[in-house]
């Protein structure tokens, strides 16, 4: 395949084309689906209500349900509650109360505000949607309205001094095999609760289009999630052919996730993250597909591929989560992440890192 710097005819933004593709897949899944499929699911707030998150994490660990992505779906917790109740009745009752606002036709599900003062410090708080350390106030709110079984409208926002982002505001439609979320949905591609190597909530939430399944597929409990998001505007995107050596625009971000459960309580996952496009940078769907399948050829500069023609920056990760059903249950996690390709070879990786940890759900 050859590249060209000739000006192409105008095309709709990549995010819009991906949204159309996702909607087509959603409609196809509806045609192939059974009439009895479950409804779309709401999401629990991510890194906004620590006590709620802690109870949910304990409930899922006691039920032997590994968590490989976040935000966690309400449907996932409801499905796990019977097993949790057999382990810890008090926790079960508390979690049922936590989920009550999500089971009505509409309602306010979460809200909070904090205020503080301190010395000037522009460092970013970890996993707090981009809030700086010296933010004088932080606030969040979430609510939703359900219209039948297959349409859910959520409204939310996260704010701090200097920025308010409509985090949690989105339209969700579909079935248990395919749910489409359009709007400001958080993404967290890791089994770890305190940090994600590829993508988490370190920065403000991006507008995105996400397609994923609500309930696991097949006996292997397969879960998938892919999304395309629009990054903030930048006028410092490297483009050597430009008059200043840079171009300006909105880059795109794509992530593909899949996980499965070979045996109950043990999950394996893989993620592929691609940042591409923006301004005059190449951004066609054809180049995207080729780069996804062969990063070495389309994402490594060479004698036939210049820095301007290079399509994307890519990262990937693989992770495992194991819930041990002992008298005192324990969850074990490990994650390996790296940049795709090293020395122009698809099977070698660079800038790698490994994280490992454990979690004890019983106090």
pLDDT tens track of the chain, all 363 residues?
333 333 333 445 655 656 555 555 555 555 444 444 578 999 998 887 888 888 999 999 999 999 999 999 999 999 999 999 998 999 999 999 999 999 999 999 989 898 887 778 878 888 889 898 888 899 999 999 999 999 999 999 999 988 999 999 999 999 889 999 999 999 998 999 888 888 899 899 999 999 999 999 999 999 999 999 999 999 888 888 878 888 999 999 999 999 999 999 999 999 999 989 888 888 888 888 888 887 777 767 777 777 777 777 888 899 999 998 777 778 999 999 998 776 566 566 777 899 999 988 865
At 149-172, the pLDDT tens digits run 999 999 999 999 889 999 999 999
Six-digit token pair at 112? 């909070």
Q: Tokens 């410092």 map to which residue?
A: 236
In 10 A of CB 186, how many CB atoms?
22
Peptide bond into 71 cis (omega under 30): yes
* DSSP H helical ranges for 33-88: 50-62, 74-87
In DSSP notation, 295-336 reads HHHHHS-BTTB-TTT--EEEEEEEEEEEEE-SSS-EEEEEEE
| Integer Cα distance of 134 and 164 in angstroms | 16
Q: List the domains of the chain with CATH numbers.
A: 14-359 (2.40.160.130)
Percent of the chain with pLDDT over 90: 49
| Integer Cα distance of 72 and 183 in angstroms | 17
């Amino acid at each position: 395949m050859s590249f060209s710097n000739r000006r192409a005819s105008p095309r709709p933004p990549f995010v819009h084309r991906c949204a159309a593709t996702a909607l087509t897949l959603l409609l196809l899944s509806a045609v192939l689906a059974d009439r009895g499929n479950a409804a779309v699911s709401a999401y629990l707030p991510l890194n906004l209500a620590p006590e709620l998150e802690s109870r949910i994490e304990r409930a899922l660990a006691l039920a032997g349900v590994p968590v490989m992505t976040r935000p966690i779906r309400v449907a996932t917790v409801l499905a796990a509650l019977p097993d949790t109740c057999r382990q810890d009745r008090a926790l079960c009752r508390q979690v049922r109360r936590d989920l009550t606002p999500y089971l009505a036709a509409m309602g306010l599900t979460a809200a909070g505000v904090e205020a503080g003062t301190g010395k000037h410090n522009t460092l970013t708080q970890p996993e707090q949607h981009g809030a700086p350390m010296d933010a004088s106030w932080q606030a969040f709110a979430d609510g939703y309205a359900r219209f039948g079984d297959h349409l859910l409208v959520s409204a939310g926002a996260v704010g701090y001094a200097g920025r308010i982002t409509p985090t949690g505001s989105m339209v969700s439609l579909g079935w248990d095999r395919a749910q489409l979320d359009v709007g400001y949905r958080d993404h967290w591609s890791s089994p770890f609760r305190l940090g994600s190597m590829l993508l988490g909530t370190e920065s403000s939430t991006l507008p995105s289009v996400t397609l994923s399944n609500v309930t696991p597929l097949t006996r292997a409990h397969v879960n998938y999630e892919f999304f395309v998001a629009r990054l903030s505007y930048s006028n410092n995107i490297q483009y050597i052919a430009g008059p200043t050596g840079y171009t300006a625009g909105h880059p795109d971000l794509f992530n593909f996730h899949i996980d499965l459960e070979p045996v109950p309580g043990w999950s394996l996952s893989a993620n592929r993250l691609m940042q591409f496009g923006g301004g005059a940078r190449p951004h066609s769907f054809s180049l995207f597909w080729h780069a996804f399948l062969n990063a070495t050829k389309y994402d490594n500069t060479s004698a036939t591929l210049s820095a301007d023609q290079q399509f994307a920056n890519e990262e990937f990760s693989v992770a495992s989560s194991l819930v041990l059903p002992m008298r005192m249950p324990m969850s074990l996690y490990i994650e390996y992440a790296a940049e795709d390709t090293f020395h122009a070879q698809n099977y070698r990786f660079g800038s790698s890192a490994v994280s490992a940890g454990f979690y004890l759900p019983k106090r």
